Amino acid sequence: MNDNCKPNSNQSECPIYNIMRLISAKWTVEIMRELSIQPTRTRQFLSRIPGLSMKCLQERLKELDAAGMLRRVKFDEKVPKVEHHITPRGEKLLAILLQVKQLAEESAPSDCQCPIEYYVKEVPLSESSCPKRRQ
C-alpha cells in the first residue's frame, strides 16, 4: 500500500475525516436506515439487509454505539432481548444522510424513496420504496 493512502496523525484528529470514515463504512447507511424505521433487534438487521453478516453487523453496531449514533436497550426477560434505538446524535446523522441523497440526486435523479426521508420529514413510511431493503 502506498504510504500516501494511509491516514496520518492529522487526518485521524480531523473531525470531518472521522465522521466520514464512520459514515462511509460498509453497512452504516443500511443500519441507520433500519433504525430510522423503528427500534431494531440484532437479528432483524440480518433479515432486512441482504448480504450483511453477523460479524460485520456487530462491528458496525459497536462503532455506531461508541459514536453515540445509537444505543442498546437490554430487556430483562427469560430469553434476553436487545434492541437498538436511534439517539438524538443519530437523528442528526440521518438529516445529513438525507442532504447527501438530495445532493446526489442533483446529478443523478433517482426513484428511490428512502425510509430516512420519512423519518426526517415526518411523513408516512408506507410510501417508502428502497430497492436495497427486504420488507
Q: How many whole angstroms separate alpha carbon 42 and alpha carbon 90?
A: 17
pLDDT at 119: 74
pLDDT averaged over every residue in the chain: 84
Beta strand extents in the chain (DSSP E only) = 40-41, 70-75, 81-86
Which cell goes with 61?
Answer: 453496531
Question: Could you tell me the residue ranges of all domains in the chain?
Answer: 9-127
The CATH T-level fold of domain 9-127 is Arc Repressor Mutant, subunit A (1.10.10)
Query: CA-CA distance, 52 to 61, in Å (whole number)?
Result: 12
Residue range 25-77, pLDDT digits in tens: 999 999 999 999 889 999 999 999 999 999 999 999 999 999 999 999 998 87
